[in-house]
Chain A
Amino acid sequence: MIDTVPMTGPAHLQDAQRRALRRVAALMIPASDAHRVPGADDDAIFADVVRSIGRDADAVRAALRRLDELAGGDFADRGQDEQRCAAQQLRDGDAALAAVLVAVVARCYYRDDRVMRSLGMEPRPPFPGGFDVEQGDLSLLDPVRARGRIWREAP
């Protein structure tokens, strides 16, 4: 069994941080009628995001603080255009922090049943069903074989 060392600081977000992260999720991956998928701010998906932050809690809080700075106040309370502008500034100026927000959102969005089905995937883990992979035709290697050895003799 693998024991996990507790992370530094609580993984929970303050209410304002949670609202800000939800707005970021909506800006990042909006709902789409065309693809019949919810946005990343969907109740179930966002609850999964918050629940799964884990090792990234400190980095997420740092990213949200930076967003507040860029927005000139609470990011969550700004208008949509201001939020979009601050998010773009974060991505342009601090890619590492932006990548943390992408990671925590994408890790949960792209495992939601509705999203999986929209992508043509069965909503299941890889095991135990596994997947099919075409065997392929090993005669493709005939030209390689015909060219002969390329390894180098060593004295």
Chain B
Amino acid sequence: MNTPVDVLIIGAGASGAAVAWSLADTRMRIVCLEQGDWVKSTEFPSNGRDWEARQFDDFSTSPNRRRNAADYPINDDDSPIKVVNFNGVGGGTILYAGHFPRLHPSDFRVRTLDGIADDWPVDYPTLEPWFALNDRMMGIASLAGDPAYPPKDAVLPPLPLGRTGTTLGRAMNRLGWHWWAADSAMATRDYEGRARCINLGHCIAGCAQGAKASTDLTYWPQAIRQRVELRTRCRVREIGVDERGMASGAVYFDADGVEHFQPAEIVILACNGVGTPRILLNSVSGRFPNGLANSSGLVGRNLMFHPYASIRGWFDDPLDGHRGPHIGTWSQQFYETDGSRGFVRGYTYQFVRGQGPVVTAMTGMATGRIPWGDGHHDAYRQLFDRSAGMVAICEDLPEEHNTVTLDPSLKDAHGIPAPKITYRLGENSRRMLEHAVARGVEILRAAGARDIVSEAPLPNAGWHLLGTARMGRDPARSVVNEWGRSHDVKNLFVVDGSVFVTSGGVNPTSTIQALALYVADCIKQRLSNLFD
């Protein structure tokens, strides 16, 4: 058996890294178990001529397609939106686009403001200092003064607008609609050991330049210097409990497939909205027959993705193509509730640049815009480097029938039951997607696009895995309390996107990490009576 530790963190992604770094100054003995490995920047696809092909291969965003040793299978056959993730040090930040908006003040008060779902037990002002600290740790590029947010500081200069941002920005001005330079996790100048962005344009397959703020480059080096131990290729099967009903540690398999038990005084789950409920549901005992921390029955329920709509147009003049971070500007014109739209809550537009040569061909032939045979080359050249558009990231409301459960037969390489996703697109989301497509077409027409296509919901866009161990003050209606501690198991914490009460209509990484820093601070403030 391993030597007992004070804190055991499971998962080395966005939230696990932040909580590890924050707790390191307590001088407690901290170990993090991560099922994947470190990824070297020399391994990222943009180092090679096959850079586009590998995003469909070993750097696919789908674990079911990727099937690397670090991955576990996910049965998402019963969902129109498929799970995407990455397993390794840095987790999802390795493959994310680096789009880094915060939730808004209204996102934490949806019951009060709009009469739907539930208010969060924390609010924007409570998290504001942790948002700001996280922005500095991650090195966020932004432009101060965005009218869609309360005032916040810019850490680094904004991304270049490029021809795409300029073209679409002018269209938004013609329509009189909000747009702004996006908050982005790209170092626009050298920052804390990260080299500045050189517009490789392939951020979602890992940044070979190291300009993108993945936590293997931001939090982890600092945490490790403070003696946090990070054990890679260690896959947790379950969390153990002792006779008092407290978490006693975790059972895991090491890189050689050998089973171990790591005892710990505090266990922190940071495995995302699918991985965390999977471990809790696999942690069955006489005392917790329905899974750990699950007296509410809500572990794995209320799964929220963000349904995405994609609207893309083609222009007469060349734009940025595949060059530059994919998302440079955003709009939150339709973010806050407006009853006249036929749905509650709202969405963000992320304005996106163009496509690489391979993806241009694949999408062009799939939509019939590029023929097979005669005419292929002429049609291709009409599209290549001439597209731009947007994705709308829609707020997904919590619904208990959207779940992560354990698949009865599917298992990972270690024989651990795999997660099964059951998800239905809600009517509110459907109406929101329709609205987003219609307004997106208006924007592209105003920008001069000559040909427009849309798709909603995007099937392979389950980036954001939220809500499956929600926070709240009522133990009957939530899994963890307002500072991330399990209602049932007083030394068990959750810090990943599972704790989200509602999803907002923005990418969640900024808020996930702010929450992780907040929970870590709550732990530090309560060390003398943490388990009361």
- Return chain A residues, CB-CB under 8 Å to B179: 141, 144
Among A32, A124, A137, A151, the residue within 8 A (CB) of B148 is A151
B159-215 interface (Cβ within 8 A of A)? 160-163, 165-166, 169-170, 172-173, 176, 178-181, 198-202, 208-209
- Return chain B residues, CB-CB under 8 Å to A2: 37, 39, 43, 58, 68-70, 88
Give A129 to B199 CA distance when docked, in angstroms.
Answer: 9
- Return chain A residues, CB-CB under 8 Å to B58: 2, 4
The number of residues on chain A lying at the interface, defined by a beta carbon within 8 Å of a beta carbon of chain B, is 64
Give A34 to B145 CA distance when docked, in angstroms.
Answer: 51
Among B143, B323, B332, B358, the residue within 8 A (CB) of A110 is B358
From known contacts A127-B208, A136-B160, infer whether A147 and B366 are also in contact, taking CB-CB under 8 Å: no
Give A85 to B143 CA distance when docked, in angstroms.
Answer: 55
B362, A144: Cβ atoms under 8 Å?
no
A87 CB within 8 Å of chain B: yes
B315-351 interface (Cβ within 8 A of A)? 320, 323-324, 332-333, 335-337
> Which one, B24-32, B106-114, B419-427, is touching chain A?
B106-114
Give A100 to B331 CA distance when docked, in angstroms.
Answer: 35
- Return chain A residues, CB-CB under 8 Å to B208: 126-128
From known contacts A131-B199, A140-B161, infer whether A150 and B148 are also in contact, taking CB-CB under 8 Å: yes
Tell me how far the C-beta of B336 lies from the nearest C-beta in chain A, rounded to whole angstroms.
5
A153, B105: Cβ atoms under 8 Å?
yes
- Return chain B residues, CB-CB under 8 Å to A5: 67-69, 413
Give A27 to B362 CA distance when docked, in angstroms.
Answer: 15
B178, A150: Cβ atoms under 8 Å?
yes
- Return chain A residues, CB-CB under 8 Å to B198: 127-131
Binary A-proximity of B461-505 (CB < 8 A = 1, otherwise 0): 000000000000000000000000000000000000000000000
In terms of DSSP, what is the predominant structure of the interface of chain A? loop
- Return chain B residues, CB-CB under 8 Å to A35: 377, 381
- Return chain B residues, CB-CB under 8 Å to A140: 161, 166, 169-170, 173
From known contacts A55-B65, A154-B112, infer whether A103 and B362 are also in contact, taking CB-CB under 8 Å: yes
From known contacts A34-B377, A154-B112, infer whether A106 and B165 are also in contact, taking CB-CB under 8 Å: no
Give A116 to B50 CA distance when docked, in angstroms.
Answer: 13
B109, A141: Cβ atoms under 8 Å?
no
Binary B-proximity of A93-135 (CB < 8 A = 1, otherwise 0): 0010001001100111111000110010101111111111111
In the assembled complex, 21 residue pairs joining A and B whose CB atoms fall closer than 8 Å, in A order, are A5-B413, A27-B372, A28-B373, A110-B361, A111-B358, A123-B49, A125-B47, A127-B47, A128-B209, A133-B162, A134-B160, A134-B162, A136-B166, A138-B161, A141-B143, A141-B179, A151-B336, A154-B108, A154-B113, A154-B123, A155-B113
Partner-A contacts on B (CB < 8 A): 37, 39-40, 43-44, 46-53, 56-58, 65, 67-70, 88, 104-106, 108-109, 112-113, 123-124, 143, 145, 147-150, 158, 160-163, 165-166, 169-170, 172-173, 176, 178-181, 198-202, 208-209, 320, 323-324, 332-333, 335-337, 356-358, 360-362, 365-366, 372-374, 376-377, 381, 384, 413
Partner-B contacts on A (CB < 8 A): 1-5, 7, 27-30, 32, 34-35, 37, 52, 54-55, 84, 87, 91, 95, 99, 102-103, 106-111, 115-116, 119, 121, 123-138, 140-141, 143-145, 147-155
Nearest 9 A/B pairs, CB to CB: A136-B161, A130-B198, A131-B323, A133-B324, A127-B208, A3-B69, A154-B105, A106-B361, A110-B357
